[in-house]
């Protein structure tokens, strides 16, 4: 079968420009690779990763050791070209695996040899107290997602923010940057979040959140969460904030009950127990302190 002259002429007209275009693209790719390789090794395009600068310490920290620990954890070594295709993935993996970092917002190249990195550091919301080694207490900072922040302390860290101590956590601490697998701790963090949301910390000295009875493991009829104040008042919270059990008040309703009591008795002075999980708050007053008397009924006298 013979190809007509017209068809053959049309094929030649299309083939020649296509060949020229393909050859041009191939040549440009070769030139591009050579140009890229040249600029990739040029000194002015090399990013020195070592002097990483932390622009500001966390606002929850007034201890230089925290800032030093954060800066040291983010140190990188060596140099890398701003044209290196592995630059962004390498840095992203570095920061996402950093236990101090909650989220990486962006990593941007700034020519010729700078980087702009924006990230969010973890912020503690509670301190977990664990008894170990001859009943000695150890303390750990934990963020809103139940993730452990680096550090193990023999005393409660002195920070410029209010952090309740959570007692009664059963599971051992995870590695820094990992989520603490303890439902009671998650419930305590939710209560701490409710207290912050409704400004309870400004009205009351919260010392600790006791989750010993989390899930009713000790007594199904007792409050699963108990808040302890600085003057030793117990606030029975009831079940967790997000419980699906029926007839349980919401966090807002429980806070409202607590605030009603605080209006009558600031700082809950003179009160032993407050139960806020019911429609009406229930109060148990502290017993009055009686003076000791001698056998004759008179108060004892001091002697020098």
pLDDT for 300 equals 42
Sign of the CA dihedral running 39, 41, 47, 49: positive
Do 60 and 124 form a contact (C-beta atoms < 8 A)?
yes
137 located within any domain: yes
SS3 197: helix
Residues 111 and 216 in one domain: no
Domain that holds residue 31: 5-40
- Token pair recorded at residue 220: 């199904």
CA gap 39, 5 in Å, rounded: 51
- Token pair recorded at residue 240: 């967790």
pLDDT for 159 equals 87
Residues 19 and 65 in one domain: no
- Condensed to tens digits (0 to 9), the pLDDT of residues 231-247 reads 999 999 999 998 888 88
Residues 189 and 206 in one domain: yes
Helices (H) and strands (E) in the chain, counts: 5, 12
- Identify the CA nearest to 237 among candidates 199, 273, 267: 273
pLDDT beneath 50: ranges in the chain: 1, 8, 11, 19-20, 23, 25-32, 34-36, 38-39, 293, 295-304
Q: How much is the pTM? A: 0.79
Residues 77 and 129 in one domain: no
CA gap 70, 115 in Å, rounded: 18
Number of compact structural domains in the chain: 3
pLDDT for 114 equals 81
DSSP letter, residue 179: B
pLDDT for 28 equals 43
């Amino acid at each position: 079968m013979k190809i007509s002259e017209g068809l053959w002429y049309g094929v030649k007209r299309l083939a020649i420009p296509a060949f020229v275009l393909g050859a041009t693209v191939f040549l440009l790719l070769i030139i591009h690779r050579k140009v890229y390789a040249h600029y990739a090794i040029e000194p002015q395009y090399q990013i020195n990763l070592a002097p990483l600068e932390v622009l500001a310490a966390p606002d929850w920290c007034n201890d230089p050791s925290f800032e030093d620990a954060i800066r040291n954890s983010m140190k990188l070594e060596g140099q890398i070209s701003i044209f290196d295709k592995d630059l962004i993935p390498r840095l992203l993996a570095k920061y996402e695996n950093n236990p101090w970092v909650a989220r990486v917002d962006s990593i941007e190249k700034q020519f010729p040899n700078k980087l702009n990195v924006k990230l969010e550091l973890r912020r503690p919301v509670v301190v977990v107290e664990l008894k170990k080694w001859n009943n000695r207490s150890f303390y750990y900072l934990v963020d809103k997602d139940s993730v452990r922040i680096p550090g193990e302390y023999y005393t409660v860290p002195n920070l410029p923010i209010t952090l309740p101590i959570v007692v009664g956590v059963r599971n051992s601490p995870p590695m820094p940057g990992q989520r603490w697998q303890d439902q009671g701790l998650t419930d305590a963090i939710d209560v701490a979040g409710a207290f912050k949301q409704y400004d309870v910390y400004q009205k009351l000295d919260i010392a600790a959140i006791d989750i010993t009875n989390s899930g009713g493991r000790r007594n199904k009829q007792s409050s699963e969460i108990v808040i302890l104040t600085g003057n030793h008042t117990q606030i029975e919270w009831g079940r967790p904030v997000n419980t699906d059990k029926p007839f349980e008040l919401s966090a807002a309703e429980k806070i409202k009950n607590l605030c009603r009591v605080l209006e009558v008795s600031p700082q809950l002075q003179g009160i032993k127990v407050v139960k806020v999980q019911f429609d009406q708050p229930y109060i148990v007053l502290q017993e009055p302190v009686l003076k000791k008397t001698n056998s004759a009924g008179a108060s004892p006298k001091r002697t020098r």
